Amino acid sequence: MHEQEAAKNLAQGELADTGNAIGVLRRREIEARIVGPLLDALGAEFGREAVLEVARTTIVRIAREQGAQLATQVGHNDLGAFEQTLDAWTQDDALRIEVVERDAQRFGFNVTRCRYAELYHALGIPELGAVLSCNRDYALIEGFNPGVELTRTQTIMQGASHCDFRYRLVEAAAGEPEKP
């Protein structure tokens, strides 16, 4: 409940969003160092799969809300605007990407280095990396623009050589985000 109120206040400009000041990679490290042991303890008490499912559901909801906020901040929700937002995730060399396609209908790139995956592996919690980071990707774009579809067949987190992100506009959507 507090989180929803905070998100509402942030959207209304009542709270400063200082999260990006430290960078997403550092933020994920801080989150993982707190959430990892917390999920372990809750899993021991209530069952690991049940706890991870609650975490997945919560993170998806948060990512969807963040996607909508991002579209509002950028002022557009088309693929070009989405591409502009990648700076937050690539900050501090967190991701190395190679763009493979870019036009009004499609935006595709491969992640060739993922320091997020490296982080979760170094912390000994690679299985949580998918829950805490990779899990956000589909919901984020859904919140940013529900008319865009993400296809990803592999991730570095799962042991692949690269992550293949392919975004495709599947329905005509206005270039401006919807107003709440």
Mean pLDDT of the chain: 87
Give the pTM. 0.80
* Segment 59-101, tens digit of pLDDT: 999 999 999 999 999 999 999 999 999 988 898 899 999 999 9
- Cross-strand bridge partners of residue 98: 110
Phi-psi region of 41 (alpha: psi -120 to 50; beta: other; left: phi over 0): alpha
Confidence of residue 20 (pLDDT cuts 50, 70, 90): low
Phi-psi region of 8 (alpha: psi -120 to 50; beta: other; left: phi over 0): alpha
Angstrom CA distances, 146 to 15, 106, 165, 171, stand at: 26, 14, 16, 9
* pLDDT number for residue 45: 96
Q: Check if the beta carbon of residue 114 is closer than 8 Å to that of residue 37.
A: no
Q: Check if the beta carbon of residue 109 is closer than 8 Å to that of residue 100.
A: yes
Q: Which domains does the chain have, with CATH numbers?
A: 2-169 (3.30.1380)
* pLDDT number for residue 24: 84
The rounded percent of the chain whose pLDDT value lies above 90 is 68
